[in-house]
Structure 1
């Protein structure tokens, strides 16, 4: 045992950072070194190594110390923690169409083919749409000192239930309640919308259309007619001075000639080959492959006109974040206004949500007071059967109000964050911007007097800055 006191002068025990491996090594070569496995074990425990000791290595080290003179030997191995994995939603149908950043397939000459509708997520009643993948639990580790090493647990995924879908009793799978098209709306809810196809023009033979699903039009939409859809609108022909309003996206193969009448408005994207004398609004992006001429265009996020022609001339273009075009304006100095960092719809929605919050808080307060009164009667044993039913109903109302309030608050936080992020606002000119053009970013305006090529405009330090477009 006397010799054991000297082991600390001959042997060193070190640990890695997370204390899952302990290493034993000689501090100096000692030809006289001998010790038993028990003595070595006792020494290791004295050095704080209490778990995962490799008994076979301890025995070998004691019997043949010379083999270990010049090496660092793992003498104890703990257990690494296994981190939990978050649950997710596994889609049984492809959801690529709803990818916000998906670009249209573009050929060499810059044209886009929107004719193919086989990409629609058509489902039959009772067909599974999505199922929850449960989180994978983590398992804690053990350090070689014997202490537990904590792990992170995976979070449960949650469905956002929209229209015409049902959940199984376990709330782990979602099914279509009708035949139709699976669509994910702007708040992430999954819906099934039926598809309505028109094999020709929207004209006097069809009349105006107001449909709860997606509308596919194989011809043109003529001046003065109206098409409303809770899903998407796809037009294989052109749109004249008509009104198209969709809760999803609008795709127009033949372009828009608006005659300064009508409106094309989508909650998500508007995609068209060109826009002339038109009024277009999109909650997210307006994507045009050829040109935007003398039109009023407003996008919650980006206006992209970067095809072969990629021309914006005249009119007023507003985008929440970015405008990208090959050419802005023309050599005749036609007045062309480009505004970025503009999100009027979101500001209006925020005001509405604040009002809704106030109403919900008042309702919640009334419900709580009524429940408190009923609870008091219950404690006195004076609760009649109709009061029992009322208390049950009020409890459900309170739960529903609190859930709605939570959803409103989440949306308000999202909007407030979006309104703060004006740093993304910019105008990218891929080829040329001409005099007569006006760039507005937030509260700042820059008038273009002379043609400028390949330039980016953005807000920096209280003014609009410009640098070469890369």
Structure 2
């Protein structure tokens, strides 16, 4: 077939809306139809396509027109533009975790010799913004340049006691203090509040906008709240500690099932007994966690010389690592990983909400049915009519709220399925009585096992040897 007019009666060339892809599709295909790859290329070029032509696609059409007549064939592809790098924050302060205390043969750690406070001076540069990149240009199939997409911009998140230059690209400390990142990477400089002794009736409760250092114990019944970090050079009894930053306790937590310790970032201590603790990131305990409720957004690490977890419940978004889990008496011990603890709690709350909303909706629908029957018989009074209208609005609102709750439940349940990176690692022994939960799957340990790890693989929790 040599005449272009005849060829165009069989074939049509089209471009995608973004002009990044070229297609050929058959308008008709006779049994004796034939065409060469060269003729197809001329047709494509006459249609305005000059870049990214795919010779193999043209040859496939020429070799077997009938097979290619069923659907359109991609015959050209453009070069997509590349997005530039996103804007980011470069901190002038060392944010690496330099907390690496020496551990002696007995497993004791000396926290007193380590100073992890990031001190800054007034006027010191603490962070600067790196502007987004422009990206790389591409070419569409018509040979036209496609502008590269600039990376996503961002605003520096400025908190307490810091100032920016006019361009808002540099952040400086406004006073002498400690550099602290709070939720969503907000930049702050907080002064430090020190208590030289116990938190007791002499000091009262503490609620401070910066970092709190307590050179003593926190006694039962008292509260310490800090927008920065909390450091206790002593122990914590049945008290309430809450920090937006990290919490470090040189001694341990002996709560007697009272109070709680809640950290927005990491939590470190030597032991937890009969306590309730939580951290947005890691919980690191050097000795033991006994009969306690522990929650960590990322990891729970109990890897000291003793490294024991027994009794209670330990939850972590990523991993739980310990030397020993449970004991020879088969004390019930629950270990849960694979989803952030707050999501598990949210799921429980949502299911309760679904139940109450469902019951309320059922009662509303039954009442509306009776009122509808009265209306149909013409026996409905004005007050019943007003009630009918009100119940109709209530039903609509409750149904909408119930749909929102169901959608959120499904979203959380889908996240429970993604537990491929979650794990429980035991470098010593895991004993019977231990319950391992990964995502939405559970495994009960009946017999002791040594140096094992637990992961979710192919629909079940598997136990393997640690390397």
- What is the aligned counterpart of 2:447 among 424, 445, 450? 450
Q: How do residues 16-415 of structure 1 correspond to structure 2 at under 5 angstroms?
A: 88-97=88-97, 104-109=100-105, 110-116=107-113, 118-134=115-131, 158-346=155-343
Residues 312 and 325 in structure 1, CA contact (< 8 A), matched pair in contact too = yes
Cα shift readout 1:420-464 (whole Å, capped 9, x = no counterpart): 642222211111011111112222222211111111112222222
Residue 84 of structure 1, CA deviation: 7.4
For 1:70, the equivalent position in structure 2 comes to none
Cα shift readout 1:255-298 (whole Å, capped 9, x = no counterpart): 11111111011111111111111111111111111111111111
Structure 1 counterpart SS, 2:112: coil
- Determine the C-alpha separation between the residues in 2 that align with 1:185 and 1:418: 26
Residue 159 of structure 1, CA deviation: 1.7
Decide whether aligned partners of structure 1 residues 118 and 238 sit closer, same or farther in structure 2, where only a CA change above 3 A counts: same
Cα shift readout 1:25-67 (whole Å, capped 9, x = no counterpart): xxxxxxxxxxxxxxxxxxxxxxxxxxxxxxxxxxxxxxxxxxx
Structure 1 counterpart SS, 2:166: coil
Decide whether aligned partners of structure 1 residues 90 and 448 sit closer, same or farther in structure 2, where only a CA change above 3 A counts: closer
Decide whether aligned partners of structure 1 residues 140 and 427 sit closer, same or farther in structure 2, where only a CA change above 3 A counts: closer
Decide whether aligned partners of structure 1 residues 241 and 419 sit closer, same or farther in structure 2, where only a CA change above 3 A counts: same
**333-342 or 241-250, larger mean C-alpha shift:** 333-342
Residues 204 and 222 in structure 2, CA contact (< 8 A), matched pair in contact too = yes
- Determine the C-alpha separation between the residues in 2 that align with 1:150 and 1:424: 38
Residues 121 and 177 in structure 2, CA contact (< 8 A), matched pair in contact too = yes
Decide whether aligned partners of structure 1 residues 201 and 337 sit closer, same or farther in structure 2, where only a CA change above 3 A counts: same
Residue 418 of structure 1, CA deviation: 6.8
- Determine the C-alpha separation between the residues in 1 that align with 2:188 and 2:413: 27
Structure 1 counterpart SS, 2:277: strand
- What is the aligned counterpart of 1:439 among 416, 420, 436? 436
For 2:427, the equivalent position in structure 1 comes to 430
Taking structure 1 as the reference length, the TM-score comes to: 0.61
Structure 1 counterpart SS, 2:329: coil
CA RMSD of aligned residues (A): 3.3
- Determine the C-alpha separation between the residues in 2 that align with 1:416 and 1:103: 37
Residue 95 of structure 1, CA deviation: 2.2
Cα shift readout 1:211-255 (whole Å, capped 9, x = no counterpart): 111101111111111111111100111111111111111101111
Residue 180 of structure 1, CA deviation: 2.1
Decide whether aligned partners of structure 1 residues 457 and 290 sit closer, same or farther in structure 2, where only a CA change above 3 A counts: same
Q: How many residues align?
A: 322
Decide whether aligned partners of structure 1 residues 330 and 118 sit closer, same or farther in structure 2, where only a CA change above 3 A counts: closer
Residue 208 of structure 1, CA deviation: 0.8
Residue 154 of structure 1, CA deviation: 6.8
Residues 343 and 419 in structure 1, CA contact (< 8 A), matched pair in contact too = no
- Determine the C-alpha separation between the residues in 2 that align with 1:215 and 1:418: 36
Decide whether aligned partners of structure 1 residues 247 and 416 sit closer, same or farther in structure 2, where only a CA change above 3 A counts: farther
Decide whether aligned partners of structure 1 residues 313 and 166 sit closer, same or farther in structure 2, where only a CA change above 3 A counts: same
Residues 315 and 341 in structure 2, CA contact (< 8 A), matched pair in contact too = no
Structure 1 counterpart SS, 2:257: coil
Residue 93 of structure 1, CA deviation: 2.5
Taking structure 2 as the reference length, the TM-score comes to: 0.61
